[in-house]
């Protein structure tokens, strides 16, 4: 029996820039179930981080939102800033790409982890520090009793990210949002951090929303995937189905763009295919398919009408007129310029 923990409905985020308002998220909806590892996938500018910040109530100044965000049925958009501060860090927490800029360089890591427990659970100083040490141990930091007194600059990138995770799980949150948690790390360290996240999810039954552009990471760890493009969700399904039977041309293009050197034939030049064109910046909701300017399959209908969200198989949705009868091979041939 699954239970929806996090529900996002028709979320819209408009941010203000020097060039006027930009529609960063245009009607995003998704649900994350208890204990699920849900990936939001997309390239820079697709709105995945803005979606996360909207959930956290941490949007930059001048941003406006619409739609609904619920945590275990409780509407978060209706909360006062003070009420939201109690939710943030206790029920929903977030870790970021670059742990150095997210930690305060002037305080020891132990103090910063302990602060979570003092702020949210009213633990006294000693008790909080003792539990902080346990948390550091839990995320795999060796010699936690010593490291707890160190400052962020004394630690490596991987260790700092572990500290961030320790802070994030200190109050046993319901939802952990991980925004590109391993992008800044080397591949061997990336594997370590993924193992930590996976173990914690299994032990604590936490829901993890993983924001990433790395399809390798998605293949490795996600249960379900939401693919985003230009502020819209374009496809959503289980991880296996996404890789085996993608139904949106953007997803196909993204999968195609990852080099598959195993298919390289000795003595021949490798075929590498990117997606031509670039991600549009939206000023207002478009009246066509957002991907149509770059889509090899787009026809006049795609350019005049926005495709609806359609179910192509059980639990597999895509926003494309051709979804359901899209064959990756057809696209590869027909889409070659």
Partner 1 sequence: MNHSEPAEVAAPVLSVRALTKRFKVSRARGGGMVHAVDGVDLTINSGEIVGLVGESGSGKSTLARCIVRLLEPTSGQVLLRGADITHLSQRRLRPVRRDVHMVFQDPYSSLDPRQTVRAIIAEPLRMHGLARGRELDKRVAGMLERVGLSQDMRDRLPNELSGGQRQRVGLARSLVLEPSLLIADEPVSALDVSVQASVLGLILDLQEDMGFACLFIAHDLGAVEAVCNRVAIMYLGRIVEQGGYEEIFRRPKHPYTQSLLSAAPVPDPSIQRSRHRVVLAGDIPSPIHPPSGCRFHTRCPVAALPRCAAEDPELRDVTGAGHLAACHLITADGTPPDVTGELGTSPEGLALDPKP
Binding residue for partner 1 (CB under 8 A) from 214, 280, 303, 306? 214
Site map (CB under 8 A) of partner 1, residues 42-81, x = contact: -xx-------------------------------------
The dihedral built from the CA positions of residue 167, 191, 257 and 224, taken in this order, carries a sign that is negative
Q: What long-range pairs does 323-332 form, CB within 8 A, spacing at least 24?
A: 323/235, 323/247, 323/248, 324/247, 326/246, 326/247, 326/248, 326/249, 326/252, 326/297, 328/246, 328/252, 328/255, 331/249, 331/252, 331/296, 331/297, 332/252, 332/256, 332/273
Q: Which of 258, 252, 102, 117 is nearest to 180 (CA)?
A: 102
Residue closer to partner 1 by CB (options 129, 252) is 252
Any contact of residue 289 with partner 1 (CB under 8 A)?
no
State in angstroms the smallest separation of the CB of 224 from partner 1.
11
Q: Which stretch binds partner 1 (CB under 8 A): 65-73, 76-84, 89-97, 249-257?
A: 249-257
Task: Encode burial over 113-151: b for 16+ CB neighbours within 10 A, e otherwise.
Answer: bbbbbbbbeebeeeebbbbbbebbbbbbbeebeebbebb
Positions in 137-156 near partner 1 (CB under 8 A): 142, 156
Binding residue for partner 1 (CB under 8 A) from 78, 244, 285, 330? 244
Any contact of residue 231 with partner 1 (CB under 8 A)?
no
Distance (Å, whole) CA 52 – CA 49 = 5
State in angstroms the smallest separation of the CB of 235 from partner 1.
15
Positions in 155-194 near partner 1 (CB under 8 A): 156, 158-159, 186-192
State in angstroms the smallest separation of the CB of 301 from partner 1.
24
Q: Which residues form the interface with partner 1 (CB under 8 A)?
A: 43-44, 142, 156, 158-159, 186-192, 195, 213-220, 239-240, 243-244, 253-264, 266, 269-276, 278-279
């Amino acid at each position: 029996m699954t239970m929806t923990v996090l529900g996002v409905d028709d979320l819209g985020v408009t941010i203000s820039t020097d060039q006027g308002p930009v529609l960063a998220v245009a009607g995003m909806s998704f649900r994350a179930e208890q204990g699920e590892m849900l990936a939001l996938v997309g390239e820079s500018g697709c709105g995945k981080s803005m979606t996360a910040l909207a959930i956290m109530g941490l949007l930059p100044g001048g941003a406006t939102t619409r739609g609904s965000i619920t945590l275990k049925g409780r509407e978060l958009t209706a909360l006062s800033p003070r009420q939201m501060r109690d939710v943030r860090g206790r029920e929903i927490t977030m870790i970021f790409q670059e742990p150095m800029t997210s930690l305060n360089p002037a305080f020891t890591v132990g103090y910063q982890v302990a602060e979570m427990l003092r702020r949210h659970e009213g633990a006294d100083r000693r008790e909080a520090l003792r539990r902080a040490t346990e948390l550091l141990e839990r995320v795999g930091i060796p010699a936690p009793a010593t490291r707890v007194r160190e400052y962020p600059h004394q630690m490596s990138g991987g260790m700092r990210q572990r500290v961030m995770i320790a802070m994030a799980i200190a109050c046993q949150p319901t939802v952990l949002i991980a925004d590109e948690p391993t992008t800044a790390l080397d591949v061997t360290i990336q594997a370590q951090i993924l193992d930590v996240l996976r173990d914690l999810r299994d032990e604590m039954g936490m829901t993890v929303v993983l924001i990433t552009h790395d399809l390798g990471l998605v293949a490795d760890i996600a249960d379900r995937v939401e693919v985003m493009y230009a502020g819209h969700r374009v496809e959503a399904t289980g991880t296996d189905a996404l890789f085996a039977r993608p139904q949106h041309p953007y997803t196909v293009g993204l999968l195609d763009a990852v080099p598959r050197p195993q298919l390289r034939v000795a003595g021949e030049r490798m075929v590498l295919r990117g997606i031509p064109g670039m991600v549009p910046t939206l000023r207002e909701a478009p009246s066509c398919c957002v991907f149509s300017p770059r889509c090899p399959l787009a026809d006049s209908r795609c350019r005049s009408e926005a495709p609806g969200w359609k179910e192509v198989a059980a639990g597999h949705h895509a926003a494309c007129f051709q979804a359901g009868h899209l064959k990756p091979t057809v696209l590869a041939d027909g889409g070659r310029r």
